[in-house]
């Protein structure tokens, strides 16, 4: 198996190219990041096929801005408390007819780059799901991703004006204008989701803290009984319905994290509200 970094679409230096003269739709690639100087270069290289690249940097203090500008990307810097707000800022900054959202820990492989171009050239729809290959370290984990802990497809390719993120801190909801088109089935968005098991557990801790803040801000954190049920139902969905059992021990780990996310978020909001309540 090739390492994930061998599967990215390489491209030329200047990322923001002139508007196509052949009438083809113009594509913007949007990257939203914070202090990602190590992973940003490969991410930028993988979206060099786009006509424009916009990088939104949230409270970054490392060399991410310099790296993005040197690659020819347009950089928007600021500070946003909510994930939805910073992603909407990036969408508003894009000028292409279509937008492809890519995170700094993701890479567009060559087959997906070609499929994206082919899709926007003929699509009459507003948005399309994009396939995802999730890696833990160098291991491709194909099965078991479910709920808020991971997915095998994401709605990242859309017409400008079709997608808005809601005002939430983690995994915000989406509002759509227009109809969904067929899912892209060629290539993949290579997601370097976790470096190892410890990284996976740190992500669970980070996400559940952000979700606890959202629960407290919304004024309804739910009940212990409901979240215990979700622990088992989501874990079973990951392990059985999403075939996590095919991944051996990795499938067990994914099922535990998938089930634990809502329960841990609830417990943080219930038992430690002073630590997770958003500032007024």
Determine the pLDDT at residue 169: 79
- Helix locations, the chain, DSSP H: 40-46, 64-70, 83-93, 110-122, 197-218, 224-236, 249-271, 273-276
Determine the pLDDT at residue 101: 98
SS3 52: strand
Q: How far apart are CA 36 and CA 64, in angstroms?
A: 6
Determine the pLDDT at residue 10: 42
Which of 134, 91, 114, 243 shows the shortest CA–CA distance to 184? 114
Determine the pLDDT at residue 4: 58
Which of 150, 190, 203, 199 shows the shortest CA–CA distance to 3? 190
Task: Classify residue 142 as exposed, middle or buried by CB count within 10 Å of its CB (0-12, 13-18, 19+).
Answer: middle
Parallel, antiparallel, or unpaired for β 189-194 and 127-136? parallel
Determine the pLDDT at residue 172: 86
Determine the pLDDT at residue 8: 45
Report, as ranges of residue numbers, the positions in the chain whose pLDDT lies below 70. Answer: 1-22
- What are residue 26's DSSP bridge partners? none
Question: Cα dihedral angle (12, 17, 22, 26), rounded to 10 degrees?
Answer: 110
- What is the model's pTM? 0.86
């Amino acid at each position: 198996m090739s390492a994930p970094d061998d599967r990215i679409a390489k491209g030329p230096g200047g990322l923001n190219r002139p508007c196509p003269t052949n009438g083809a739709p113009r594509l913007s690639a949007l990257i939203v990041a914070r202090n990602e100087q190590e992973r940003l270069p490969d991410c930028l290289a993988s979206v060099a096929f786009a006509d424009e690249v916009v990088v939104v940097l949230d409270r970054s203090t490392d060399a991410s801005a310099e790296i993005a500008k040197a690659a020819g990307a347009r950089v928007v810097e600021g500070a946003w408390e909510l994930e939805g707000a910073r992603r909407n800022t990036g969408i508003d900054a894009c000028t292409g007819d279509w937008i492809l959202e890519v995170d700094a820990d993701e890479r567009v492989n060559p087959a997906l780059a070609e499929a994206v171009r082919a899709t926007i050239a003929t699509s009459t729809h507003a948005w399309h799901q994009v396939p995802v290959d999730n890696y833990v370290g160098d291991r491709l984990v194909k099965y078991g991703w479910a709920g808020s802990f991971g997915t095998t497809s994401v709605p990242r390719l859309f017409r400008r004006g079709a997608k808005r993120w809601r005002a939430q801190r983690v995994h915000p909801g989406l509002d759509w204008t227009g109809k969904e088109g067929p899912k892209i089935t060629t290539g993949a968005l290579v997601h370097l989701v976790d470096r190892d098991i410890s990284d996976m557990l740190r992500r669970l801790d980070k996400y559940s803290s952000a979700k606890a803040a959202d629960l407290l801000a919304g004024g309804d954190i739910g009940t212990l009984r409901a979240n215990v049920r979700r622990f088992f139902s989501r874990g079973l969905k990951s392990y059985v319905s999403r075939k996590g059992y095919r991944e051996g021990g990795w499938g067990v780990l994914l099922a535990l994290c998938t089930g634990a996310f809502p329960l841990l978020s609830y417990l943080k909001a219930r038992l430690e509200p002073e630590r997770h309540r958003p500032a007024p």
